[in-house]
Amino acid sequence: ARRQRQMCIRDSLNNLKKEIPNLVICGDYNICHEAIDIHNPKMKGVSGFLPEERQWIGNFIENGFIDSFRYLNKEPHHYSWWSYRARAREKNLGWRIDYIMVSNNLQDKLKRSVILSQAIHSDHCPVLLEIDD
């Protein structure tokens, strides 16, 4: 059933990209894609960093999308979510689980992406993407 849902999502996105070639899909994916996206990459058995979840994000990217933040920012310790427990935000013990994915044809137009970690409205913070027109 999971495989069928993945194929359905992939097919829907491929059809949508035909109609909207400059596609941007953003939101809380609730998954850390790479070890750089989580403060403690040894947490391999935790939901949000499971191998099959990480593979799902990898497949999403391989299907013609760019993780815009990671494309423009290679350095570690940039997170978009922190637990309310143990002063995690204060200690920057976070996860990067909020993404702005863009279709591959926008690659040359990506200008800047920033996680606005100083904006404290919830356990998440906004992610900003600037695209040249």
Distance CA 48, CA 69 (A): 18
- Whether 28 is a known active-site residue: answer yes
Distance CA 14, CA 65 (A): 10
Q: Are strands 110-115 and 81-82 parallel, antiparallel or unpaired?
A: unpaired
Catalytic residue among 11, 28, 67, 133: 28
Distance CA 28, CA 34 (A): 16
What residues act catalytically? Answer: 28
